[in-house]
Structure formats: structure tokens, C-alpha cells
Structure 1
Amino acid sequence: MSGMVRGPSVQADAVHGGIHISTAAPAPPHRPWQLPPAVPLTGRTAETALLEGHRDRAARAGRPVLAAVSGLGGVGKTALALAWLHTLRPDFPGGQLYADLGARSPQGPADPAEVLSGFLRGLGVPPQHVPATVAERAARYRSLTADLRIVVLLDDADTAAQVRPLLPGGRNVTLVTSRRRMSGLTLEGCHHLPLAPLGPEASVELLADTLADDRVAAQPDDAHALAELCAGLPLAVRLVGARLAARPRRRITTMVHALSEEHGRLDALALDGDRSVRAALDLTYQALPDAAARLYRLLGLHPGPEFGSAVAAAVLACGTEPPHTAHDAAAGLLDALYDWNLLLDTGEDRYRFHDLVRLHAAAKAQETDAPEDRTAALRRIADHYLATAMAAEKILDPQHATLPRPFGPGPVVAEDLGDDAEAALDWLERELTNVMALVRSARTAGFPQLSWQLTDAIWPLFPRRKHYDQWRAAHAEGLAAAQELGDRAAECRMLTSGGLGELGRGSHRTALEMFERAARLFAADGDTLGHARTLNYRGLAQQRLGNPAEAAALFARAAAELPACGDHRAGGLARLNAADIALAAGQWERAAEDADAARTTLRAADDAYNAARAATLLGRIRLRQGRPDEAESRLTEALTVLRAMAAGYETARAVEALAELAALRGQPEEARDRYREALDLYTAVNRPESAAAVHDRLRLLDEDAAD
């Protein structure tokens, strides 16, 4: 008999007597300490506490610890993992296992079989005793770790399927890092921790730690500006810090200037051609399916800070498919981008890019997509906002849309607002920042008419929610675009609508100048109707400037000329404005006559909003006339309409008048409740002077009650 025998053996012909055979006890498993060194961790106290909390809960339940940290490349996932796991060494003396799973490696993700082979060797299994199959290796691995106290770091994982065979046995700690959310590990009891960028102060602290000198303390403003340009990405902060550290005499402001140009910021965030933010993002981008990569690139063209899924549908839309197809496709692709941590979920089906990711997406679009494709995608985005704003306008102020606003050649994807005025206003307010970004960029993007068209379409928001700064800025951009295009009708609209905003913010002289400019343009063009409409606006400016006689004369002219030009609704508005002048002068009968005529005309013109304003004014006049029942009837009528339209300021005026009525009737509790509601409404629509007056009324009521 011949052959090779391994291990203890006995060969005998015959055995007699009591013979004892023993071998040495098996050697204990090796104690591997494979974790890379930890780097100093800044600004992650809350995240570390969350991981510790998960560990405590798992220990109380007798379960193993499994957590997955996900986030952008360069956000500090591995740094957090190493910092936390190294602190656990006293509680886990059995060792530390580490594997780079290479999700974005040029050679492809690591094979779990090879990782398990390395783990088994690290635990003391001789190479020749490593089982052949993945299943056998995983079983042996779990057996060896069942009674150990170890931690395992699976870094840069690709999928949950890659991770599962690598989970140890026993009550050990496993931490997974990945650029995508490991939702597939939920059934294994995984705790998911999305890692957000650092806050401003933590970024500055990290910069100071990287520089290791006094420049941050000596140049705090520049340090904060530099941290802001790095957008909270630790990799970016460390890269710029390393470049500055290599040049100890260079001021921080030099790097601020280098990063301030958006188009070059990603290139500046690199060190000796090695680790860079662009490279980290490129790795994630290369893993995307083609459709998700295209959406990522084209969403990078979106000029605003955040967007809803309908914007993604607009980007994807084409003329050969029904709209719901684009919506369905967008939903799936947005999920993919979110899973890869390229988008942040801001709630209510809305998303935003990290600042540096947006720059990366836009750069990829510049590299990959033809100029005409980029222009068409941006136009579809703009048309989405224009179409939805026009739908809101139709709900809130159907009389306003008198100028044509044609869309671009692509399919138009608009949101469905139903017929809810509150929802329409809320949409306009929520999207105001995005619309303003488009208003500002449309001229340079090649469709300047969108500057004034978008401004005109969102008009109903301004008088209701009083966003005076945006009111002024949008109309300035729209006016410049209209003048550039030589569009006189649009120019006059921007002057009159913008002038009303100047009136609201108290710039009465500026408003009058804008109205008079429009009047001259209308007169030069022979537009008698347009010129007659400016009479109303000029009268309002004169009224606010303290010239009631001039205002009354202009309103009287408008009330006569506008119906003669065919605009009975605007004539009704002139009567309404004249009634306000008469009320202020104590001419109650004349005021009541004008207000009642205005209410009748505006109702006939289906202008419910301004008819309700006329009813409010008529109610206030009846109060002055000592006719409380008529006052209550008109005010209640107005309030019903204005509440339904979510017209905060005008609702407040009606509520305030009803509070005054309650006080006159000796009903202090009702008066107090009404005044409080009016105070809240005035505050919400940024009318501090009206809020202060109501506050004084409330104080007087309380003083009367105390007496």
C-alpha cells in the first residue's frame, strides 16, 4: 500500500493491551486585524451615535449587527466606518476582517468566492483546506466566526447579492459601505444609514485639520467660503486642503477664486491627477444604465435647486409616446439615481442634486449630448413650468392671460392641479425659485421670450403672497427680454405688472414712472385701450403718493374710457378704485354707489376675485354708514369667495372688517377671534403695517376687557 498521508496516523499489524492515542488540540483561529488605519473624523457625531444605537438594540435582542452606510463617492463613508469600527476593538477581541468589494473597480466587482477565500485564510485556514465552492466556503466561514467576537468591514459593495455570502456567523458586527442604497439587505435586519455631506462648520473644522496651521483661524470668512464651494464633500475639502498645505504661504482666498468659476470647479478639486471629485463621480456614473445616465446628464441642465418627478418626465418626453409613458419611465429612473445617491430626496416626490454632482451631471451633458439635444431638453423643462403656471393662472385669474405664450416644438408635460386654488397657489410658491432661475437664464439659453412669458404666467402669485423681491426681479428680467425682442405688448405688460409690485413695496414714485412709460408706448402705437388701462394704474400711484384729487380724476377718466374701448371689466376696476378714494374722503354715498356698480360689473365679467374685493369695500362702507346687517352680508359674501381662492391679503381685509363689526355689536370674543385671524393672515402675506394696526386693535380690546 502506498500513498501520501496527511495529519496524525497510526499503522499497525496487531494491537494488544490498553493503548491511548491523542493529538494536540486544534490551534485556535488566527486573529486577523485587517482594518486599514482610521483617519481623523470630523462632524460625524450624530452618525456614529446612530450606529451605536443600532448596535445596542441588536445586543439587547441577541442579534448580529448589520449596518449599511451609503452615499456619494467622497462623502466619507469609509472614514466613518473605520473610525467607528476601530472603537469597537475592546469589545470584539476576535479580530477584524476587511474586504474592498470593488464596486467601481476597472476589473469589476470582487467575486464573493475570492473574498471568502481571503477571509478563511485570515482566520487561519491553510490555503489547501479552503473549500472549492462559494457555498462551502460561506458555511466554513460562518462556522469559524460563530463563536468569535469580530467586526467585518465590506467596503464599496456593489449589490446585496455580493454581500450576503460574506456575512459572518454569531453575534458579530458587519458594516457595509456602498454608493448605492443596500435595500436588498433589509430582510437580513440591516440598518440603513444614508450619509449626507458635512455641515458648514464641520467642513471648516476639517479644512483646519487638513491644513494644520493657523490659516483658517486667520482667514475665517475665506475658510467658510471655501468650505461652501466644496459643498460639504469631505473628499473635496481634503483635496483643497492638501493643495493649500503644500503651499503654506498661499492664502485661502486664492483657492476660493480658483473654485468660484463653476465650470472649472471639478477640475480644481483634484490633487496631482490622483484622487479627485470628478473621478469619484465618474465611477458612479459609469455604473448607470444608459437611460439613467441620460436622465442624470439632462437633469444637470435644470437651473433651479430642486425639482419634481414631472420635470424628469418632461426631460424624457418625446412626441411618439403618450405622456404617462414618460412619467412611468421617469419614476423608475429617478429611483435608480436615488439608489446610487446621485439625487437627494427632499420629500413629496421631489429631488435635488448635491452641488458638485449637479456640476458633474452638466459637464457630462456637455461632453455627451449634442447642443441641439441639450437645448431641446432645457426647453421642455421650461415649457413644463410655463404650462403648469398657466394652468394655475387659469384657476386663479382667468382674465389675466391675454398675451400669447407659444410652447417649444417638444411635447409639453404639465402637472395636474385640478381646480383647487390653494393647490395652484402652493405650486406657484413652491416652484418660484425654479421659475426665477429659468427667467434669469432663458435669454442666454436662446429663448428670451420665456423670461417675460414665465413672469407673466406666475403673476397671480405676486399680489396674493406678496413676494416683492421676486416680483421686482422677474419683471426686470422680463422687461429686458421684451425690449430685446422689440415686443411692445410684452414690454408694456412688464411695465404695468411690475409697477404694481413697486406700489406694493412702497416705491410709489417708481411705479408711477413705469406706468407713465407704458402710457407713452401705448400712445405712440395708437393703442387707445392699452393707454386707457394705464389710467387705472397711474391713479393708484397718485393715490399712494398722497394726491387723491389727481387719483380721482384718473379713475373717472378710466371708468369712462375703458367701457368705450370695450373693456367693461377694467372699467369696473376703475369704479372700485374710485370707491376707495371716496371712502377715504368720507363721501360714503358716492363710495357705496361706485363700489356697488363695480361689484355688479365685475360679477358680470366673471371676475370673482375683484368682485369679492368690491364686496369687501362695500361692506366697509356700510359699516361707516351704520348699516351693520348690510355690511355683514357683503363681507360674508366676499369672505366665502376669497377663502376659496386662497387670497390671503384680501381675506384678511374682509376678516378685519368683520372683527370691527363684531366689536361694534358688543361681541368682544368674536371680535378678538377675527382680529387674531386677520393678524395671522397679514403676517403670512408679509404686510407688517396692516398686522401692526390689527395688533393695536387687539390690545385695545384687551384693555377694555381689563377695565
Structure 2
Amino acid sequence: MNRSSEDQPSDPDGAPSPGQANRVTSEQASWFVQARDIHGSVYVGGLRPTGAEPPRQVPAVPATFTGRTAELEQLERISAAGAGEQSVIMMLVGPGGVGKSVLATHFLHAVTERFPDGQLYADLGAFGVGGGRDPAEILDGFLRSLGMAPEQIPVEVADRAAALRSRTSGRRLAMLLDDAASAAQVRTLLPGTGGHLVVVTSRRQLAGLVAEGAVPVEVAPLTEDEAVTLVRSLLAPHRVIDAEAARALVRHCGGLPLAVCAAASRLAMRPGQDLTAMVAELGNQRRRLGSLSRDEEVSVRVVLQTSYHALADPAQRAYRHLGLHPGTGIDRAAAAALLNTDPEEAEALLERLVEASLLQPEPGPEPTQPRWRLHDLTRLHAAEVAHHDENSAAVEQARERLLDYYLSTAMAADVVLNPHRWRLAPLADPAALTERFVDADAALSWLEAELDTLRTCVRLAHDSGHHHRAWQLCDALSSLFIRRQHYSAWRETHALGLASAEALEDPTAQARMHTALGALELHLNQTHQATEHYTRAQHLAEACGHKLSLAAALEGHAKTALRTGQPNTAIPHLDRILHIHQDLGRPRGVALMRRYLGQAYRAVGQPSTAATHLRAALDYFDSTTEPYAHLRARTELAQTLHTAADPQAHTTARQALDLAERIGARHEVARLHELLATIAQHHGHTTTAHTHLTHAHTIYTDLESPNADTTARKLAEWANPPEPE
């Protein structure tokens, strides 16, 4: 299902950002345009914006990578066998900590040049937080990376999978699907026909994939010689290595690179520590843990336990607290909140854990914003020691600090994105909040990068009884969801937010969640479900006497009525909302309702009344401080003046077009070209009309808007007018 920006709310909550509005999506490799006269801009597009690099998402290879000669040769043979137009699927199977992901990333970086259309990466999270990521969200990320604008991405998983296959058909991409849980999970994410290479890692033999042609590759622990070489590479500058002690060390580590790196890093941090003594300690720990567990990864647990106890107290506490973090990655600001310290000290502690190979650095959204993550086995261990070594009060305080950090930062981003939006959740200091982000792009970038963590924070807040934080965090995600259409996350978080609001028996919070869920359903054109949510929100707001909540619910009803072609139903709702805003002294709300009333009265054949409302809205909205709201009001006025055969329609539409082009509101640009075409055709200016309509059709096609079909038919009709009767 494709959606145009007409599906956005009419107020600036739904205004597409300039970056979003200028996304290009057609899959043509090149274009040739022939025309006699061109007025204004021509819009063409490709798989990615011109000059954009193909996605290169595969993580970096650790500098400590060593050995694996036989495995790399095997991967090369398998990959070469599928050279040409046939896709190859390789499945790397082995226990946790054996180095499957590092082997896969090393190989994919080595063959980068064979896949000019890019590399895609997803951590499927089979053994991570939550037991596996939602395929819909992974597909959403892939499609965005390949140039598909958010409003064009289908809603259903099957449709997204089909879109990925279409978008990758005939191309050459490499894909790493890390930590897969099942064949079905992988199958949904596979690209279309073409010379692709798909590398899957899993702790399980995924027989379903093998039956479909995937080639399994067993990844065994390092050989003793390879593991000793890894130890020497980590310790060479620091000490002379006793060969027998090194071999005993790697045997205790089971040859698992994760364990070997953690053990060797501990020695590197303590040059005076005796290697033989450490081997004896590992032996004792292994016997103790081995008697309690049949876990195949006991070698990792042995090393993690000894490495943890070797840390200084502040680093031990940092490690325990990281086990409380609900997401897969963390930056230094979040770590500072979790550890109750300043960002500089938090980063120093995290780097101590990196040195001990208990934490892995990873790229952040910007080079100046580093991030870190725990391997899933390390996360489990950190959570275990937090449970045993932290008192319950300290755990609760850390959880509250972390939730408050993400809540306040998400609120700050939301305020920057839409400073005028009405909010139910209290803002401690709105001015201070806006200082956290330099601009809207930075705010949106942070929300996108942290979305997975923010989702898990909503669940954590709900499950741990922090119900105020749960629904308020949902409210803070409003602008992100409206602008970027993360529908799965929207539904999941707000269902939890509604449950938390119900647990609090807070009718205003419940009404806010119902209104947001109604907006989601309206975005998806599920008008019956939207009406149900708006009706529930209306009843709750009326029962508790909260006027702004009532206005929000009634606005939802009005938008639904306008969407379904029932302007006579919308007008009473809009009149009621108008009076609420007047009573509360909210001139901006009054102006918005006047714009909606203008649309509604035009639809019922009263253009004079419509124009009066729209001019009143224009008097309020300034074209510089609120350009999108001003644009929508001016566009509606131009349409209304044309309906009334007012000669000012052309001038008003041209003014709106200039503003739409300046702010990058491409759907509005197309809509205005279409209106100007209609005006020109009405006055007999057929050449001008055809030029405008061609512009509109080009943009609608680029945006994959349903309006492209309408304009195409109209162009055909104008080129071949019907014979006179």
C-alpha cells in the first residue's frame, strides 16, 4: 500500500522535513528528457539520490582478527561458484563466541568490489534482547537504505518483502543476516533475483534454508595454534609469552575467540600478572562452573567471570549496570545517566571495559558520537552479576535514571521537531530541552538511531511499573512516527502506553494514547478502527472535562470525515473545536481549525465561507516561522478561489508554488502544478496547462503517489480531446 504526503496530518505535525520531501525513488539508471519549453523545475530520480553512495552497513573487522585460513578459502569457493546472475546463500553455524560474525564481516569486506550496489546488514537478535527483531522493522530499514521514502514503504511484512525483492532484482548486493533464529526469519529478508551474496550466521542448523540451497559452513573454535597466535598478537608488546602457559590458557578458553580475547586483554591490562597463576585460576573457575552447567559456552562464562572479578570496583559497577540496559547499544550520554556520572567519566569506564574485551565499540551516527555494545553472551553475564552483586534499590535507581534520560532526550527531540505541538506530558524546561539538538535534522537523526532502544524502554517502563514514563515516552515519539512512518513501532509502543495509562487509571493519558492510535489507523486508511479510537478518546475526555484532549479527539473525527468524503459531518466537529480553542485563548488552534473549515465548506459548495476561514488562517500563519502551515492554508485558498472562479486564484497558487519549492514540500509542489494546469486549461491556455500537468505527473510518479495515474489519464485526454458530438 503506497501513501502520499496527503496522508499526513494537515498541521505541521505532519510536515515532511526537507530531507524527507526530496527523497527520490525511481529505479531507472538514467534519464533522457525531451521537451520544447520547460518552465520551473524538472524532477527525476533513481534508486538513490544522485551522488549518494551505495549502503555499506557491514560492521568493521576487529584489528585482532587472525587465522581462519581454511574457512576463508571455503567461503571463497562457495561465493565463486555462484558468480554471475545467481544468488548465493552461505550459512555460518557455530556456538556463541566462536567468531561467526567476525569471520563473515572479514570475508564481506574482502569482496566489497564484487557487489557495486552495496552491502546490507541486520542483527536479527536471536539470542539478544527480546529474543529476535521484528522482520518488518528490518525490511523497513533495508528499503530506506535503498532509497525508498518512508511514506512509500508498505505496511504488511509480506508487502515489504516483495518490495525488497523488486528493489534488488537484477542488482548485485551483499547481505549479512547476523544471529538468525529460524529459516522463516531469514527467508522473509532475502533479496530478489540477481547476483547477490547472502551470509547468514546462526547457532542453529537452519535445515529449512539448506533445503532451499543455502550452503552450510561449520565454524569451529580456533585451532590451538591459531588461538595462541591471537594471544601473542594481543600481548606481544607487553610481555614474553610462555608457550606452554599460552596453550593451557587457550584450552581453558575452549578456542573461542570471545573468551581468548577477554582472557588475553586482562593480561594486557596487568603486565605484572603471572600467566601461570591466571591459568590456574581459570582452571578452578571452570571446574566450579562446569559442575553447575552443561552449557556449551561454559568456556566463555569462565573467562567473563574471572575478567569481571579482575576489574577495579568502578569498572565492575559499570559492567553490572550495562547489564541493566534494555537496548543493543549505548552512547556516552546514556551511559552517564545509567552510571550516575558525567559523560567523560562514563566514556573512560567504558573504554576500560573495551580494553578488557568485555565491551565492543561500534560506529555512531556521527564520528563524534561513539557507541558501544555488549556481545549477547557478555550481556547475559553482566545481567547475571547485576542480579547477584547489586542491591535492588541500586538497580531500581539505575533503571529510573536511564528511563528519565531517554524520556527527556526524546522530549527534547520532539520539541525541536515540532515546538508548537500540544503536549499532555509536562515539560520541565522547554528552553533547556531545545538546546540538546542543534537543529531538526540532528533531533530526527537521534530518534532514528535510538528507535530500537526507545521501543525497549517503553516495554521496560511498562513491565517494571513505571507507567507514567511509558505513556509519556510514547507521546515524545509522536513527531518521529508522523514524519518517518515507523508503523510497527508506533503500534507496539502505543499499545503498551495505553496499557500503562489504564493501569494508572488516568483518563487524560488514556485519551492521548487512543488519539495517537487513531492517527495511526487513519494513516493506514483504516477509518473504522480510527473512529473507534477517536470515539473512546472523546468519551474519556468528556468524562474528565479535559478540553484539549476533547479537541484532539474531535479533530481526529473531523479528519476522518474529510478523508471519507463527509464534509457535512466534519463541520460540526470543527466548529466545536474552534470554540474550545477560543475559550482557552489558543489562537494557533483557532487558525488551524479555520483552515480545516475552509476545506470542509469548499467541499459542501460554499466557497465564499471557505475563503473567509482560509484568509483568517493565513493572517495567523507566517510564511517564515511556520512555512508549511502557511503553505497549506494558501494552497487551500487558491483551490477555493478557483472553485469560485475568482481571478486571484492563479496569483495565489503561484505564491503557494514558490513557497512549496522553497521548503521542499514536493507533494504540495505537484498538487499546485496540477491546480495551475486546471486553471490554465479553464482559460484556454492549453500549452501552459500541459506543461504544469507534466510537472505534476513527474513528481507524483517519483513519489509513487496514486495521483500519478489520475494525472496520466488527464494528460492522455488533453492530448486526444474527444470528438464533438
Whole-Å separation in 2 of the counterparts to 1:151 and 1:577: 71
Report what 1:418 is aligned to.
437
Partner of 1:368 in structure 2?
A: 389
Greater shift in the superposed pair: 541-550 or 473-482:
541-550
**8 A Cα contact 2:308 2:316, kept in partner:** yes
Answer whether contact 2:328 2:374 (CA < 8 A) is retained. Answer: yes
Q: Which residue of 1 aligns with 2:653?
A: 631
Task: Specify the alignment match of 1:161 in structure 2.
Answer: 237
- State whether structure 2 residue 367 is matched by structure 1 residue 342: no
CA, structure 1 residues 557+40, in 2 after alignment: closer, same or farther (shift >3 Å)?
same
Q: For 1:77 and 1:639, how far apart are their aligned partners in 2?
A: 46
Aligned 8 A contact 1:73 1:179 in 2: no
Q: Which residue of 1 aligns with 2:568?
A: 549
State the Cα distance separating 1:451 from its structure 2 match.
0.8
Root-mean-square deviation (CA, aligned residues, Å) is 4.5
Pick from 670, 673, 680: which aligns with 1:656? Answer: 670
**Counterparts of 1:77 and 1:568 in 2: how far apart (Å)?**
57
Q: Tell me the distance in 1 between the aligned counterparts of 2:579 and 2:570.
A: 14
Separation of aligned partners in 2, 1:538 and 1:298: 46
Maintained 8 Å contact 1:539/1:552: yes
What is the CA deviation profile of residues 162-207 of structure 1, one whole-angstrom value per residue up to 9, with x for unaligned ones? 367899xxxxxxx997516999xxxxxxxxxxxxxxxxxxxxxxxx
String of CA shifts for 1:29-85, please: whole Å, max 9, x gaps: xxxxxxxxx999768856999xxxxxxxxxxxxxxxxxxxxx9954379999xxxxx
The alignment status of 1:597 with 2:628, answered yes or no, reads no
Partners of 2:639 and 2:354 lie apart in 1 by: 55
State the TM-score, normalizing by the size of structure 1: 0.56
> Contact conserved, 2:574 with 2:597, CA < 8 A, in 1?
yes
Secondary structure at 2:229 match in 1: strand
User: Max radius of gyration: which structure?
Assistant: 1
* Range with greater deviation from structure 2 (326-335 or 478-487): 326-335
Q: Distance in 1 between matches of 2:635 and 2:623?
A: 17
Instruction: Spell out the pairing of 1:245-644 with structure 2 (5 A cutoff).
Output: 270-271=295-296, 275-318=298-341, 326-339=342-355, 340=357, 342-348=359-365, 349-405=370-426, 417-528=436-547, 530-585=549-604, 587-603=606-622, 609-622=628-641, 627-638=649-660, 640=662, 643=664
Alignment of 1:675-686 (within 5 A): 676-677=698-699, 680=702, 682=703
Contact 1:401 1:457 in 2 (8 A): no
Residue 542 of structure 1 contacts residue 551 of structure 1 at CA under 8 Å; is this kept in 2? yes
Q: Conserved in 2, the CA contact under 8 Å of 1:313 and 1:327?
A: yes
Find the residue that maps to 1:434 and give its secondary structure.
Answer: helix
Which residue type is aligned with residue 631 of structure 1? A
Equivalent residue letter for 1:292: A
Q: CA deviation at 1:494?
A: 1.4
Answer yes or no: is the 8 Å Cα contact 1:310–1:415 preserved in 2.
Answer: no
What SS does the aligned partner of 1:154 have?
helix
- C-alpha separation between the residues in 2 aligned to 1:385 and 1:440? 13
CA contact (8 A) 1:602 1:610 kept: yes
SS in 1 for 2:538: helix
Instruction: Please say if residues 558 and 574 of structure 2, whose CA atoms lie closer than 8 Å, have aligned partners that are also in contact.
Output: yes
**1:75 maps to 2:99:** yes
Q: Secondary structure at the match of 2:327?
A: coil
Report if aligned partners of 1:452, 1:482 keep a CA contact under 8 Å in 2: yes
- Structure 2 gaps of 5+ residues are 1-66, 79-94, 105-224, 244-254, 266-288, 681-686
Aligned residues: 463
Deviations 1:395-428 (A, max 9, x none): 1222335434478xxxxx9896434112222222
Q: CA separation of 1:550/1:652 partners in 2, compared to 1, >3 Å: closer, same or farther?
A: same
- The residue type paired with residue 398 of structure 1 is P
- Are the aligned partners of 1:579 and 1:592 in contact in 2 as well (CA < 8 Å)? yes
Superimposed CA distance per residue, residues 546-589 of structure 1 (whole angstroms, 9 cap, x where no aligned partner)? 43321123223333443134333223222222222234445444
**The one of 703, 706, 713 aligned to 1:692:** 706
The answer to whether the 8 Å contact 2:561/2:569 transfers is yes
- Secondary structure, aligned partner of 1:304: coil
Q: Secondary structure at the match of 2:238?
A: helix
Partner of 1:179: 261
1:396–1:622 Cα change, 3 Å: farther
SS in 2 for 1:179: helix
CA displacement, residues 612-652 of structure 1 (integer Å, 9 cap, x when unaligned): 432343344456556323212123335545x4xxxxxxx23
**Contact 1:298 / 1:377 at 8 angstroms: preserved in 2?**
yes
Counterpart AA for 1:393: D
- Structure 2 distance, partners of 1:384, 1:44, is 47
Distance in 1 (CA, whole Å) between partners of 2:434 and 2:607 is 47
Aligned partners of 1:367 and 1:305: how far apart in 2? 22
Q: List aligned pairs for 1:225-244, cutoff 5 A.
A: none
Question: Partner of 2:325: helix, strand, or coil?
Answer: coil
Distance 1:276 1:151, change over 3 A: closer
Structure 1 residues 661 and 404: CA distance shift in structure 2, 3 A:
closer
The letter for the 2-side match of 1:156 is: V
Q: Sort the Cα spacing of 1:436 and 1:296 in 2 relative to 1 into closer, same or farther, 3 A.
A: same
Distance in 1, Cα, partners of 2:568 & 2:478: 30
Determine the structure 2 residue equivalent to 1:687.
Answer: none
* In 2: Cα distance, 1:580 partner to 1:605 partner: 23
Question: For the residues of structure 1 that align with 2:635 and 2:521, how far apart are their CA atoms?
Answer: 24
- Aligned partner letter, 1:354: H
Q: Which amino acid aligns with 1:692?
A: P
CA contact (8 A) 1:675 1:694 kept: yes
- Alignment check: 8 A CA contact 1:488 1:521 kept: yes
Relative to structure 1, is the Cα distance of residues 693 and 285 closer, same or farther in structure 2, using a 3 angstrom cutoff?
farther
- Say if 2:262 and 2:303, in contact at 8 Å, map to a contact too: no
How far has the Cα of 1:453 moved from its partner?
Answer: 0.6
Q: Offset at 1:287?
A: 4.3
Instruction: Pick closer, same or farther for the CA change 1:630–1:361 going to 2, 3 Å.
Output: same
Task: Give the whole-Å Cα distance in 2 for the aligned partners of 1:676 and 1:476.
Answer: 39
- Read off the aligned partner of 1:368 and give its amino acid letter: D
| SS of equivalent to 1:351 | strand
- Give how far 1:530 is off: 4.0
Identify which range, 444-453 or 659-668, moves more after superposition: 659-668
Distance 2:305 2:485 in 1: 43
Structure-2 change in CA distance of 1:282 and 1:378 (3 Å) = same
Q: Percent identity?
A: 31
Q: What CA distance in whole angstroms lies between the structure 2 residues aligned with 1:443 and 1:307?
A: 21
Partner Cα distance (1:385, 1:327) in 2: 15
Which whole-Å CA distance do the structure 2 matches of 1:344 and 1:672 have between them? Answer: 50
Report which stretch shifted further, 654-663 or 669-678.
669-678
Kindly indicate whether the alpha-carbon contact (under 8 Å) linking 1:298 and 1:365 is maintained by their aligned counterparts in 2.
yes
CA contact (8 A) 1:452 1:478 kept: yes
Q: Which moved more, 1:413-422 or 1:505-514?
A: 413-422
SS in 2 for 1:332: helix
CA distance in 1, matches of 2:635, 2:371: 39
TM-score when normalising by structure 2: 0.55
Change (3 A) 1:520 1:421: same
* 1:473 CA displacement: 2.2
In structure 2, do the counterparts of structure 1 residues 313 and 78 end up closer, same or farther at CA, with 3 Å as the change threshold?
A: closer
Q: Give the aligned partner of residue 224 of structure 1.
A: none
Matched to 1:313, the amino acid is A
